[in-house]
Structure 1
Amino acid sequence: MSKRKAFVNFVKAENIFFMVAVTVLAMAVRLRFFGYISSDYRQFLSGWFELLRQNGGLSAVGINFGDYTPAYYYLLALLTYLPFSGLHLIKALSCAGDVAAAYYVFRIVDRKYGEFWGEIAYAVTLFLPSVILNSAVWAQCDSIYTAALLACICYLMEDRQYLAVTAFSIALAFKLQAVFLAPFLFVLLLKGRIKARCLLIPPLVYVISILPAAVMGRNFWELLTVYFRQSQEYNELTMNLPNLFTWFPADAPESVGRAAVLAAGALVLFTFAYLCAQKFRITDEMLVSLALFYVMLLPYFLPFMHERYWYPADLLSLVFAFYFPEKFYVPVITVMSSVYAYSRFLFGFRFISMKLFSVLMLFNLIWVAIHIIYRIRDGSDWKVMRRGWTD
């Protein structure tokens, strides 16, 4: 073996050791919070888990319970065969999602820099406060669908469009919030980066995901319309997410929410019109920028948003900062906003007005939009460097 090859192998082994050590340390930190019981766990998750455990695990997925899609229940059902408490198993599942999400952050950042920075991005992801709070404290599973969204972006960078759309479809089969990335994919469809036949993948994956539950006895139509029923469950304009509707009175009529949904749709259509009218190269940098823009845009301008709905933006803003280091403030503001929103729900913190974070997130959104416009107007990366733009 040559000295050069031996050195390369040593560096790779060293990187793997670093990531394993970081993962072990991150899990050790999470274990300290495994005893915390959130209201969501008491009201929903514990009951779902015990129902599955008492009725035979996987054989119970045909029982009609909860308001999630079956994909998450399949994973919970598999966990019921392990001899540990439901609280710890549910949190362990979510923590596994943290690792999967961090892995795809690593791949995306490593694609730009190669050695070292991908591993650093992996470590930072696992120690983001919002990531730890979501899984280890709250026992929520947002890391699972977000990992699939990050996989979608990673595979698009590798020009594997079918695998990318499949990853998005898996995310959508787990959580409706995956739809925040849908406008980004639609832009790529309009630009010819994704073929029209890929539109068949999401419904196909979703139908496949609900078939086991349907075969076991659940009503097929009810499984098809889970997300429609979810959208009707809440009528508060905002549920602790510091978006536009933080400024609206709590007793605003439902008609305001319906009008806001239409207005948000019109805004998305406007962005489609602008982007389709422009000619630009769809580089890795542009993919990261557009993806972040849309996962920030929709939760900001849509009503009925929960505290956790900027979770994909938390991780994508981190990726964005690695691609554009001078914009380090974007993940700082985004993660701070998420952490405070989580803390209001979990611990009752009320020491800062949500309106402040609403303004900061609007600043973030506008600045990411301006960043995209600058890159489009410059036309190519070499022009950006030559003219000295901040990107």
Structure 2
Amino acid sequence: MVLYVACLPLSNGDVREHLLHWTAYLIEHGRFAALGDGFSEYAPPYLYLLSLGTLLAPLTGQLVAIKLVSIAGTLFLAGCMRWLLAAVVDRDTARRGALLLLVIPTVVANGPAWGQCDALYAGFVLVAVGGVARGRIALAMLATGVAVSFKLQAVFIAPLVLATLLASRGRWWTLAFLPSAFAAMMVPAWLAGRPALDLARLYVTQGEYFHDLARSVPNMWQVLRALAPNLPYGPGVVVGLIVAAIAVVLVALAARDRLDDPRRVLLVALTGAMLVPYVLPKMHNRYFFLADVLSFAYASASPSPRAARIAVLVQLASLLAYATFLVHLMGGAFVGALVMTCALIMTIREFDAKVAPLGTGLAVTPEIQGRTRPELRRRRPNTAR
């Protein structure tokens, strides 16, 4: 609480150039009526919450009102983390994981310090992952649709969604819940007067906001751009989209037989959250936030030295990218890209590693990964006792 309160007066370029202007626009043009105008490039669901937050502005000031919305989103994220972990570990571990999430560096930097809202879409993604882990596929699809309505980065769990359908764990018709949930979240803005076509093209418009293959993001395009400064934008976007699509399909095909354990579901989600933004162009420095959260969740659910190293490296890479904007650290995103590359390699190795058969009661450690199934079956009665 002390840490979050200390973050309330902190400001930055995004707050001064965007969030404060949007808050003032909501107050001046009517909290509901303003939603019918395209005054912000952010998706309407966040603007709904920001509009409610402006009710506190006369008491707290606009900056603090913005931060309180972000902090509320962070608390929501922690609650979703507890729900996700409860599908994998015992209740006490899930509660500890949710509490610890509130103080990991990128979570504090993203919401309370930066005033951003990535915790909102990430929270719904955690609900989606927990839904798949519990076999509640309709809930997972609904949560994914809501997450996409907040931010398009929610599509980074596309490998898990596709793997779930390929494994016949859910009906293909449940995909209809994704656009349905997205459309439902746009209804208030439409009722306020915003054109339906404008809302349907929301993310197409966002994609035209800047023309840059990498925006201080720790991914491969940051490295490629440093090695080849004149890398053409158009071909780079096409190549990146094709590589990302291939990566999604390959991960889904490899994962479709690995969804019988909640830990594996979590690992598939983490792999997508790291690999997709790593190969996609036009990413921002905060686009690994979902990987930050899921790597922490995986380390909490499957404690091992490698899982812990992955979580630490992802945090470090993201923080270096954050620092390029928040404290103007030169070269932070480039170094972060190298760190993220190491984390991604370790994650892929974890993804390919052998997993103990269900019901053995054994932790997934290097000591048991090389054992055969008969050896594990022979140990099962003793482990149970």
Aligned length: 361
Q: Residues 1-391 of structure 1: matches in 2 within 5 Å?
A: 25=1, 28-82=2-56, 83=58, 84-249=60-225, 250-254=229-233, 255-276=235-256, 279-326=257-304, 327-350=307-330, 354-375=333-354, 380=358, 382=360, 388-389=368-369
Q: TM-score, normalised by structure 2?
A: 0.88
User: Secondary structure of 1:170's match?
Assistant: helix
Q: CA deviation at 1:385?
A: 5.8
Moved more, 167-176 or 70-79: 70-79
Q: Which runs of 5+ in 2 are unaligned?
A: 372-385
When residues 288 and 273 of structure 1 are mapped into structure 2, their CA distance, relative to the original with a 3 A threshold, is closer
Q: CA deviation at 1:91?
A: 1.0
Deviations, residues 60-107 of structure 1 (Å, cap 9, x unaligned) = 211221112211111111222222322111111111111111122223
Deviations, residues 120-158 of structure 1 (Å, cap 9, x unaligned) = 212210001111111112110000110111111122222
Contact 1:180 1:295 in 2 (8 A): yes
Contact 2:320 2:335 in 1 (8 A): no
User: Secondary structure of 2:46's match?
Assistant: helix
Contact 1:343 1:349 in 2 (8 A): yes
Contact 2:247 2:275 in 1 (8 A): no
Deviations, residues 166-215 of structure 1 (Å, cap 9, x unaligned) = 11111111101111112211110111112212111111112122222222
> What is the alpha-carbon distance in structure 2 between the residues aligned to residue 281 and residue 302 of structure 1?
25
Look up the match of 2:383: none
Q: CA deviation at 1:281?
A: 4.8
The runs of 4+ residues in structure 1 deviating greater than 6 Å are none
Q: CA deviation at 1:251?
A: 3.4
The code of the aligned residue for 2:336 comes to F
Contact 1:57 1:81 in 2 (8 A): no
Q: CA deviation at 1:301?
A: 0.6
> What is the alpha-carbon distance in structure 2 between the residues aligned to residue 390 and residue 152 of structure 1?
32
Contact 1:281 1:379 in 2 (8 A): no
Q: CA deviation at 1:270?
A: 2.7
The code of the aligned residue for 1:76 comes to L
Contact 1:189 1:195 in 2 (8 A): yes
> What is the alpha-carbon distance in structure 2 between the residues aligned to residue 127 and residue 353 of structure 1?
22
Q: TM-score, normalised by structure 1?
A: 0.86
Q: Which runs of 5+ in 1 are unaligned?
A: 1-24
Q: CA deviation at 1:313?
A: 0.7
User: Secondary structure of 1:382's match?
Assistant: coil
Backbone CA RMSD of aligned residues: 2.2
Contact 1:281 1:380 in 2 (8 A): no
Deviations, residues 268-291 of structure 1 (Å, cap 9, x unaligned) = 223334445xx4452101111000
Deviations, residues 18-44 of structure 1 (Å, cap 9, x unaligned) = xxxxxxx3xx31111211111111111
